[in-house]
Amino acid sequence: MNPRRLLPISAALVAIALPLVGCNIDVRRQEDGGKAEVDITTPVGDVHVRTDIDSPDTGLAVYPGAQPLRDGDDPESADVNVGNSTFGVKVVAAKYQSADSEEQIAEFYREQLRAHGEVTECRGNIDFRGPKGDRRPVCKERFFSRGDLHLQAGPEDNQRIISVKRRGNGTEFALVHVQTRGAN
């Protein structure tokens, strides 16, 4: 084979393999509690995942009497942190269930969310629109909505989201706190 043709192929292989040289992966799982911790460190950024955390820090109180919700083997809570010195995303989420109605839970969280800003409410997705530095949450209603109610408050880089839906004779809800920094 012509040595000139090997040069681009060799350069591409080195470019792909070089970031993996400094990669470190650490996985810890507790068999009895279902908790898992994953830490991935690379030269370009890190990923840290914690599941089934005892007290998820969403910045919101848990609805009185609610119980953590587990769907099969899925964890009921997680804390995920991805980033480097330039940018980052941190998401803390937890799922719960209650015998109370969807409206009772939604009203409780409307009050909770007001401490974090204006509350946007819809049965669809919440997106941010507008010029950079002044983006506002908007509701994107779905024609075929599953009926999940979403409540959101806070700026795009530090928002709290509640998802509420009927489950059997009670209600299922999720608390989510999303923080971002750096590049969009």
Q: Return the half-sphere exposure (C-beta side, CA atoms, 13 A cut-off) of residue 154.
A: 21
Give the separation between CA 69 and CA 94, rounded to whole angstroms. 8
Task: Say whether pLDDT at 99 is over 70.
Answer: yes
Task: Say whether pLDDT at 15 is over 90.
Answer: no
Cross-strand partners of 174? 95, 163
pLDDT classification of 3: cutoffs 50, 70, 90: very low
Residue 119 carries which DSSP code? P
Q: What is the pLDDT of residues 148-163, one digit of tens each?
A: 899 999 998 999 999 9
Structural domain spans, the chain:
54-181
Task: Say whether pLDDT at 59 is over 80.
Answer: yes
Structure tokens at 119: 């509350």
